Amino acid sequence: MAQTSPLLVTGGAGFIGSCFVPFMIGRGHALVTLDALTYAGFRHNLAAVMTAPGHVFVEGDICDGDLVADLLRRHRPHAVVNIAAETHVDRSIDGPAAFVRTNILGTATLLEECRRHWRDLPSAERGAFRFLQVSTDEVYGSVAQGQSSEGAPYSPTSPYAASKASADFMVRSYFRTYGLPTLVTHGTNTFGPRQFPEKLIPLMILNALDGQPLPVYGDGGNQREWLYVQDHCAAIAEILDKGRAGESYNIGSGRHLANLEVVRTLCALLDDLAPRPDRRRHSEAITHVTDRPGHDFRYAVDCAKLGVETGWSPMTDVAEGLRTTVRWYLDNEAWCRSITQSGYRRDRLGLASHA
């Protein structure tokens, strides 16, 4: 349902954010987008809606409390959706401090400024206000069997997952201590257009197009639950509209694939859509490399609560989503080239040893 006051969306120029912002604008929402435009956030990700009526883009950091307070005061949003985060596990292994700063301190800054803003709102606006934290299924750690429900204990193993778990606890504390109406979402491995190519799927696509090796960690048997980005955004929107304050909600597809199976599927799609000049199969470039430290074997979430309370279910079959994603990268060479020009060379990250 459209609102007269805007949403404040943080991290809106990144991967999930640059899908969520147009999605919500398409639903009739006014939006204020806040993004620090770090290495994985780009203005051109929002080119289609940058000048849309009711959309305001602000370059800035969620750790800047004065800026956040000013945006809340001037725009009086009815909800804040925090998508801003450092998200790549390998980068968190190499440099955890950035994850502590953005994911923990940034979330804490947003929460405190939102609490002050919410406290001073008229009663009707106070009741309607929501703070939604976009988190990850990785906070649950590896799941040997079955699925993680929202009540499962946290067991993060990487600095990334630990930073997101810490932020989740801060969000919970602001609900229980201050009554701030919060929501937390735990999304599974999300893929689709405009994903920065440090992540598995775009990395494999771009390496294959460049004739480079396709590095797969270990034996490639690590399993993930794969979710198309448009479905993830639709779930967030439903939770924002229908979720109960103080609750958390898992978001997943129910479709589990091992990493090696994903890479082989991408290779088959590329054989069809972008054959190698030498006519050899793209899968011949698959190379198994040393696994990363602390690599969780399996993630799986129970999404029954989300379906019952909101009616949401994923609309995009994973195979269809992978084909759409491959086509997007094939059709957007300029976007891919801009990543290389920004200095990222798709080098291996996360090589820290236990020594």
- Compute CA distances 238 → 265, 306, 312, 331, whole Å: 31, 9, 7, 31
Tokens of 98: 């950035």
CA-nearest of 249, 238, 137, 116 to 189 is: 137
d(C-alpha 215, C-alpha 275), whole Å: 19
The DSSP result for 162-209, as a single string, is HHHHHHHHHHHHHHHHH---EEEEEE-EEE-TT--TTSHHHHHHHHHH
User: Are 232 and 16 a contacting pair, CB within 8 Å?
Assistant: yes
Tokens of 64: 């800047």
H/E element holding 225? strand 223-228
Could you tell me how far CA 274 lies from the centroid of its own chain? 28
Active site residues: 137-138, 160
d(C-alpha 299, C-alpha 292), whole Å: 16
